[in-house]
């Protein structure tokens, strides 16, 4: 009776452990990069009631007679199957399509993770959510805070668009030198162009006034040819009025032309002088800007690691793994290298927990736990019957 009771107790403990593992899996169903656990049982030592015997001349062989003493935990595996990817659109959200692990620097220790939700800190260094530096080929990866954009390639190379070293200072100096020259030239050009436009307008007005004067003189000739009378008097008055108006407009246009010519004479030398300064300054300024324009540059390449036995890695919390004696030594490489997979920017790897599978395993564990309690209660009832024999 005691053997069966202790067998039931071992079963209770083991199924409780299985439920703990299942509960942890379900709790991390939405944890980025989480790898689910699996509980495996094995039987305990068996008590031999009778040993096996070999067959003889008159009798065949007999199998051993053994009574098992319960079960125990054989293993709690970490299953490193890939999880589904979720699109985020964030450049520094990275998913690994393959077997590689990202590396982060925890002081002098290196930790490994599949959760690629990375960030850029105040200094431009790429870090994880806990501030640990993401490991690149030459150590941490730094992006200038002045960079206008950034991207991550499938091989883990981090690119950014920024001015080359010393470019900002060179551009500022060129703008300081070129600014006053450009301002003076634009002012002289505006004044000179206005004088030329005024001249064109005056010449147009003069041509219009001369045509009007010619027409008015023709009307005067016609009016003089009319016979004396009221009609002739009216026609002469209208023609003389038109001639007077045309002469006034002609005089005004002549004055505008004279003023425009004077303005051209005044502004043209200044314009020529400023243009002589502006043209070579503009050439030098354009060259400085071309030599110091923003370009695509590399900040570094994210380094990856893989292991001969990833199931042997130790979980240390925070989505991190640590090397153990059975995980094998890390193999260092980069995404797109053989066996490391590739990095997908703008995506995150989700947990590989399957809720339907976990709920099924939970039911099995619950029923297993319940069955083992029945072993204990049944053994207890039988012992009670033995005690009652004394009465």
Q: 157 and 73, same structural domain? A: no
- Give the structural domain span for 14: 2-82+352-388
322 with 244, same domain?
no
Neighbouring residues of 240: CB distance < 8 A, sequence distance ≥ 6: 220
pLDDT winner (highest mean) among 33-47, 61-75, 221-235: 33-47
With a cut of 70, say whether residue 2 has pLDDT above it.
no
For residue 261, give the CATH number of its domain: 1.10.287.620
pLDDT of residue 230: 81
Q: Are residues 89 and 196 in the same domain?
A: no
* Residue 133 backbone phi and psi in degrees, to 5: -70, 135
Domain end point (choices 249, 270, 291): 291
- On whether both 230 and 324 belong to a single domain, the answer is no
Tell me how far the alpha carbon of residue 195 is from its chain's centroid.
Answer: 55
308 and 281 housed in the same domain = no
DSSP string covering 114-131: S--B-EE-TTSBEE-TTS
Tokens of 297: 């540059």
Residue 137 in tokens? 């080929």
> Mean pLDDT throughout 47-71?
82
The pLDDT > 70 percentage for the chain reads 98
Residue 303 is predicted with a pLDDT of: 92
125 and 143 assigned to the same domain: yes
Indicate the residue among 246, 266, 291 that finishes a domain.
291
> How many structural domains are present in the chain?
3
- pLDDT exceeds 90 at position 231: no
Contact status, residue 340 vs residue 100, Cβ threshold 8 Å? yes
Average pLDDT score over the chain: 86
* Least confident range of 93-102, 220-229, 279-288: 220-229
Best CA proximity match to 137, nearest among 317, 360, 305, 366: 305
Same domain membership, residue 67 and residue 10: yes
Q: pLDDT tier at 1 (50, 70, 90 boundaries)?
A: low
Is residue 357 located within the same domain as residue 332? no
Gap between the Cα atoms of 330 and 320, Å rounded? 15
Rounded to whole angstroms, how far apart are CA atoms 51 and 65? 6
Same domain, 177 and 238: yes
Instruction: Examine the domain organization and report whether 210 and 124 are in the same domain.
Output: no
Determine contact, residues 72/14, Cβ cutoff 8 Å: yes
0.85 cut: is pTM over it? no
Average pLDDT in the 297-302 region?
89
Q: Assign 163 a pLDDT band (cuts: 50, 70, 90).
A: confident
In sequence order, what are the residues at sequence separation of 6 or more whose Cβ sits closer than 8 angstroms to the Cβ of residue 153?
159, 343, 345
Residues 123 and 195 in one domain: no
What is the helix, strand, coil percentage profile of the chain, to 5? 45, 25, 30
Q: Measure the CA–CA gap between 136 and 103, rounded to whole angstroms.
A: 8
- Looking at the structure, tell me whether residues 344 and 357 fall in a common domain: no
Q: Name the percent of the chain lying above pLDDT 90.
A: 28
């Amino acid at each position: 009776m005691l053997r069966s009771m202790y067998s039931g107790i071992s079963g209770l403990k083991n199924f409780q452990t299985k439920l703990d593992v299942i509960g942890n899996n379900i709790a991390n169903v939405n944890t980025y990069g989480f790898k689910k656990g699996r509980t495996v049982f094995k039987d305990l030592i068996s008590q031999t009631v009778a040993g096996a015997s070999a067959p003889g001349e008159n009798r065949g062989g007999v199998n051993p007679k053994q009574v098992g003493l319960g079960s125990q935990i054989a293993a709690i595996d970490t299953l490193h199957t890939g999880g589904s990817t979720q699109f985020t659109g964030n450049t520094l959200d990275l998913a690994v399509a393959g077997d590689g692990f990202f590396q982060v620097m925890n002081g002098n220790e290196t930790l490994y993770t599949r959760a690629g939700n990375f960030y850029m800190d105040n200094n431009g260094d790429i870090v994880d959510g806990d501030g640990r530096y993401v490991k690149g080929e030459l150590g941490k990866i730094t992006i200038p805070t002045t960079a206008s954009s950034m991207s991550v390639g499938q091989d883990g190379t981090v690119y950014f668009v920024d001015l080359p070293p010393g470019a900002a200072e060179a551009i500022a100096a060129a703008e300081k030198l070129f600014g006053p020259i450009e301002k003076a030239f634009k002012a002289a050009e505006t004044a000179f162009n206005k004088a030329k436009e005024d001249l064109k307008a005056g010449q147009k007005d003069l041509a219009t006034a001369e045509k009007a004067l010619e027409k008015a003189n023709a009307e005067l000739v016609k009016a003089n040819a009319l016979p004396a009378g009221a009609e002739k008097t009216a026609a002469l008055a209208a023609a003389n009025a038109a001639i007077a108006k045309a002469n006034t407009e002609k005089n005004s246009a002549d004055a505008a032309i004279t003023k425009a010519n004077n303005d051209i004479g005044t502004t043209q030398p200044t314009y020529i002088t400023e243009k002589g300064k502006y043209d070579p300054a503009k050439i030098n300024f354009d060259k400085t800007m071309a030599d110091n324009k923003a370009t695509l540059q590399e900040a570094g390449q994210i380094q990856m690691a893989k292991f001969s036995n990833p199931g042997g890695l130790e979980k240390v919390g925070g989505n991190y793994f640590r090397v153990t004696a059975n995980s094998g030594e890390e193999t260092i490489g980069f995404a797109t290298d053989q066996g490391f997979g590739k990095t997908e920017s703008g995506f995150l790897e989700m947990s590989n927990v399957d809720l339907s599978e976990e709920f099924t395993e939970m039911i099995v564990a619950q029923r297993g736990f319940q069955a083992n309690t029945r072993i204990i209660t049944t053994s207890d009832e039988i012992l009670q019957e033995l005690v009652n024999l004394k009465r």
